[in-house]
Amino acid sequence: MHADDTTEWWKDGIVYQVYPRSFQDTTGTGIGDLDGIRARLPHLVALGVDAVWISPIYPSPMKDAGYDITDYRGIEPLFGSLESFARLAEAIHAQGMKLLLDLVPSHSSDQHPWFLESRASRDNPRRDWYVWRDAGPDGGPPSNWIAEFGGAAWEWDDATGQYYLHLYLTEQPALNWRNPELRAAIYDAMRTWFDRGVDGFRVDAVEHLAPDAQGRDNPPVPDWRFEMGPARSLDRRYSAHQPDGFDVVREMRRVADAYPERVLLGEAYGTLDEVMRYYGEALDGFHLPFNFHLIEAPWDPVGLADFIDTYEAALPPGAWPNWVLGNHDRDRVATRWGPQAARCAAMLLLTLRGTPTLWQGDELGMVNETVPPEMLQDPWAVNNPGTGLGRDPVRIPMPWDDGPGRGFTTGTPWLPLSSVASAEAQAEDPGSMLVLYRHLVHLRRNHAALRRGSYARLHADASVLAYAREHDGETLRVALNFSDREVPLPCEGTPLFSTIAARDLKDVTQLLPNEGLILTP
């Protein structure tokens, strides 16, 4: 760790997202587990990342791959036990790395004992831990809200004669954050994990905490397109990013701040203004509300340069930026922008100002794979057959070697295997994506200008983006060629590193097609 200030390790560190189902299976179930993550830590150490964020590992009926929790303090038996968790936490810390878990506060599983009690009767003490409403005047749902995975966000419960809110699957009832006992229960769960040594949380779906208490209708979005997803056909004015939700985030932060050096990363998809609000006016919200722009934007130098400037300008004073290139919900970067662009994108992610989050497998150049209909797992895909919706293609198991099961499993993998070269083979190939990522991570670790430096745009046109990073007398320039033509180098300097492994770095005047270069002045 290179932090000037140890309490801010998350400013210097690189976060790596592990999707436990697809990382490493040690039991032959075809699904990854905690011992598997521990067995593969050498991969993360060689890569040089600082923090491991693990997607949910709690007990779950797995209707939404673990984002439907039945016990906020336990470990899903498929993944291991509290003992295997403790072994993993110890191994991660022994490498000087931090461990982040997913916290899923917006909804539980419908099998959570809290919900079973809540739906048992209207006067159950836990009734108010979830969001229950009478039918609307026409006998239908109380509002027009649409669930993220499609369909009405309200489910009728015959037994108690009311609707309950679910902003994802019907099996994911929304927790009621206006109830103080519910809040206390989740905060207790956070403390349990902090006491077990967890260094922080990535907090799921925060935009949906405490939606409008009056349940007002959302207005329609006139220019909605199918690929935006069903819920975006309405402007989520009353169901997302509500004032009480921002208060909850500040409360969560106070829970984290009672422990030293803990960090909260927030997942909220919204406008830049909405995302910025999650920092909190006094920087008393999330340390890092995820910046998902790179996941959503086209591969376009001027658009990106403009966004970087807008993002930098929008940051509240003292707030620390962050960048995300991929995650388990969105198309792989090598598929979105193409395999060549993915190399430049790696350089972009690791040379921008702000904490980078790497999505497992992007360092191997993994691509979206085709998943045959009979193997589909994601309810979003299963519930919308033939539409191409769904996230299974990005959740393919890691290809560790070229043996059976690609070294991921000795059993039948829960999703098809990857088509890209294995980590083992890539480690031996200087031109591989893995070797590129290792170099870039180490460059970032070794240059304060990349970790802490200021950012300044040098050049942006239809083909090229160039910028400078400067810290304490050290300047590095980054030039990225987004096109598949040679272009003149847009800034002066001595080349230090190229995304093209075989590149001769003497007398460079041009950027090769799709090349990224780091230069010293």
Closer to ligand NOJ by CB, 231 or 346: give it: 231
145, 239 Cβ separation under 8 angstroms: yes
Q: To the nearest 10°, the Cα dihedral for 72, 74, 77, 83?
A: 150
Q: Least distance in Å: CB of 140 to ligand NOJ?
A: 25
Q: Sort 142 into a burial class: Cβ within 10 Å, 0-12 / 13-18 / 19+.
A: buried
Question: Is 227 among the catalytic positions?
Answer: no
51, 96 Cβ separation under 8 angstroms: no
Give the side-chain half-sphere CA count within 13 A for 456.
Answer: 11
Give the side-chain half-sphere CA count within 13 A for 200.
Answer: 25
Closer to ligand NOJ by CB, 290 or 400: give it: 290
Measured N-to-C along each axis, helices 339-351 and 433-446 cross at an angle, to the nearest 10 degrees, of 10
Closer to ligand NOJ by CB, 104 or 255: give it: 104
For residues 496 and 426, give the distance between their C-alpha atoms in angstroms, rounded to a whole number.
22
Q: Least distance in Å: CB of 324 to ligand NOJ?
A: 11
Closer to ligand NOJ by CB, 33 or 64: give it: 64
162, 132 Cβ separation under 8 angstroms: yes
Q: Which helix (H) or strand (E) holds 358?
A: strand 355-359
Question: Is 492 among the catalytic positions?
Answer: no
Closer to ligand NOJ by CB, 69 or 440: give it: 69
Q: Least distance in Å: CB of 71 to ligand NOJ?
A: 16
For residues 82 and 86, give the distance between their C-alpha atoms in angstroms, rounded to a whole number.
6
Site residues (vs ligand NOJ, CB under 6 A):
64, 67, 104, 168, 204-205, 267, 328-329
Closer to ligand NOJ by CB, 71 or 312: give it: 71
In angstroms and rounded to an integer, the radius of gyration of the C-alpha atoms of the chain is 23
Q: Least distance in Å: CB of 288 to ligand NOJ?
A: 15
Ramachandran category for residue 19: left, alpha or beta (phi over 0 → left; psi -120 to 50 → alpha) = beta
Strand partners, 359: 17
Closer to ligand NOJ by CB, 208 or 445: give it: 208
DSSP code, position 128: G
Closer to ligand NOJ by CB, 261 or 329: give it: 329
Residues listed for the chain: 521
Strand partners, 510: 488
Q: Least distance in Å: CB of 188 to ligand NOJ?
A: 21
Closer to ligand NOJ by CB, 108 or 463: give it: 108
Q: Least distance in Å: CB of 410 to ligand NOJ?
A: 27
Q: Could you give phi then psi for residue 406, rounded to 5 degrees?
A: 50, 30
Q: Least distance in Å: CB of 294 to ligand NOJ?
A: 16
User: Residues 199, 267, 362, 369: which is the catalytic one?
Assistant: 267
Q: Least distance in Å: CB of 103 to ligand NOJ?
A: 11
User: Residues 204, 207, 369, 378: which is the catalytic one?
Assistant: 204
Closest residue to ligand NOJ using C-beta atoms? 67
Spell out a b/e string for 366-388, using b for 16 or more CB atoms within 10 Å of the CB, else e.
Answer: bbbbebeeeebbbbbbeebeeee
For residues 54 and 496, give the distance between their C-alpha atoms in angstroms, rounded to a whole number.
34
For residues 414 and 105, give the distance between their C-alpha atoms in angstroms, rounded to a whole number.
27
3-state secondary structure of 373: helix
**For every residue of 409-471, which 3-state class applies, written as one string?**
CCCCCCCCCCCCCCHHHHHCCCCCHHHHHHHHHHHHHHCHHHHHCEEEEEEECCCEEEEEEEE
Q: Least distance in Å: CB of 243 to ligand NOJ?
A: 21
Q: Least distance in Å: CB of 169 to ligand NOJ?
A: 8
Strand partners, 289: 266
Closer to ligand NOJ by CB, 67 or 194: give it: 67
For residues 222 and 234, give the distance between their C-alpha atoms in angstroms, rounded to a whole number.
9
Active site residues: 204, 267
